[in-house]
């Protein structure tokens, strides 16, 4: 079954990666960045730096080719060496737009960065399973892919060829996916959850089955057979890895699909119910209310009210 659960999650959360800037530096320097409000990623194109994150005991060294990702809302300092007095990033980068900033002669160090936009409603499904920060070492097996991506990103940002903006966006999206892939294969201990389950190749057939046919009345024995395990071994491994039993994972994924369908259109609740494996509208309504605290119709009305309010605020802002 050619199904990719990670792509399902990225589509559901509307994950969109954007390059937002970069800088080159020479000599001693230090920059203090405010707490990110979105998932932030960055890469070291030349030289090395130290990243000191508020609340972390020691600064983290990033060398040329290393890639980092940060999810926690904590300020951090990027510097040529620890202990230097930093300048405020907002004062340094304000007015620069997307043009790289030059500090000193710019010969020693080069950095590019961006962030990931997520859907306000479904985004936490992805953001909450990632660790506070990730560092992907340039020596890892994925280094060739990262080097190529960084080279192309730098080239596209420096060039003015037609399509450069879209090419940069696609390269940034691929960089984010490569970070997730590399982290899945790291030796770091991942917290129990769907991200860890997707990192487990032995569970991959079961996840592909549930994502490929969420409406099917899957039995535990069928999922265990797909993974070539006994029912008991599979049930234990899935619960330990994902943090919930396999059929609970399926039920939760169905709820996420229902939420997306309720947000995205006017499809009748009965049709949504059938599409994700519920025998009737009332069966979905009961399950949905247990999961979210609201009926499908209450959820859809609340989403519409929020959207309408946001449109009014945007219009008022435009007229101000």
Q: Is the pLDDT of residue 317 over 60?
A: no
Residue 252 CB partners (closer than 8 Å, separation 6+): 244, 291
pLDDT at residue 54, rounded to an integer: 92
The reported pLDDT for the residue numbered 314 is 42
Give residue 77's pLDDT: 96
Confidence of residue 204 (pLDDT cuts 50, 70, 90): very high
Residue 315 pLDDT more than 80?
no
Average pLDDT over the chain, rounded to an integer: 89
When mean pLDDT is compared over 4-8, 17-21, 95-99, 145-149, the highest value belongs to 4-8
Check residue 310 and give its pLDDT: 47
At the fourth CATH level, which superfamily is domain 245-320?
Homeodomain-like (1.10.10.60)
If one compares 79 and 191, the residue with the highest pLDDT of the two is 79
Write the Ramachandran bin of 49: left for phi over 0, alpha for psi from -120 to 50, otherwise beta: beta
The answer to whether the 5-184 and 189-243 domains have the same CATH topology is no
If you average pLDDT over residues 207-222, what whole number do you get? 96
Topology given in CATH for the domain delimited by 5-184: Jelly Rolls (2.60.120)
User: Tell me, what's the pLDDT at 320?
Assistant: 39
Q: Does the domain formed by 189-243 have CATH 1.10.10? A: yes
Which tens digits make up the pLDDT trace of 249-269?
999 999 999 999 999 878 999
Q: What is the pLDDT of residue 295?
A: 94
Residues 282-301: pLDDT tens digits? Answer: 999 999 999 999 999 999 98
How confident is the model at residue 94, as a pLDDT? Answer: 77
Give the start-to-end residue ranges of the domains of the chain. Answer: 5-184, 189-243, 245-320
pLDDT digits (tens, 9 = 90+) for 29-82: 999 999 999 999 999 999 999 999 998 889 999 999 999 999 989 999 999 999
Dist CA 35 CA 301 (whole Å): 33
């Amino acid at each position: 079954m050619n199904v990719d659960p990670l792509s399902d999650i990225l589509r559901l959360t509307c994950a969109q990666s954007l390059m937002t800037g970069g800088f080159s530096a020479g000599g001693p320097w230090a920059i203090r960045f405010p707490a990110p409000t979105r998932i932030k990623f960055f890469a070291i194109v030349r030289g090395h730096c130290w990243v000191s994150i508020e609340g972390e005991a020691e600064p983290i060294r990033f060398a040329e080719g290393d890639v980092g990702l940060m999810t926690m809302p904590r300020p951090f300092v990027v510097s040529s060496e620890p202990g230097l007095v930093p300048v405020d990033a907002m004062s340094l980068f304000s007015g620069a737009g997307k043009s790289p900033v030059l500090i000193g002669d710019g010969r020693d160090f080069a950095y590019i960065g961006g962030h990931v936009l997520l859907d306000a409603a479904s985004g936490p499904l992805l953001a909450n399973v990632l660790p506070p920060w990730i560092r992907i070492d340039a020596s890892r097996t994925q280094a060739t892919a990262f080097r190529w991506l960084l080279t192309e990103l730098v080239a596209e940002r420096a060039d003015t060829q037609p399509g450069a903006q879209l090419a940069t966006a696609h390269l940034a999206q691929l960089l984010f996916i490569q970070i997730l892939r590399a982290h899945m294969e790291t030796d770091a201990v991942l917290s129990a959850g769907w991200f860890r389950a997707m990192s487990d190749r032995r569970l991959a057939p079961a996840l592909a089955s549930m994502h490929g046919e969420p409406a099917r009345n899957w039995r535990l024995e069928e999922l265990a057979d797909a993974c070539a395990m006994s029912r008991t071994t599979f049930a234990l491994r899935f619960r330990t890895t994902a943090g919930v039993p396999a059929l609970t994972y399926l039920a939760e994924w169905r709820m996420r699909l229902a939420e997306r369908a309720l947000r995205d259109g006017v499809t009748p609740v009965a049709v949504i119910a059938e599409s994700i494996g519920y025998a009737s509208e009332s069966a979905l309504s009961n399950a949905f209310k247990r999961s979210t605290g609201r009926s499908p119709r209450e959820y859809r009305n609340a989403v519409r009210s929020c959207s309408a309010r946001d449109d009014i605020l945007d219009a008022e802002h435009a007229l101000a």
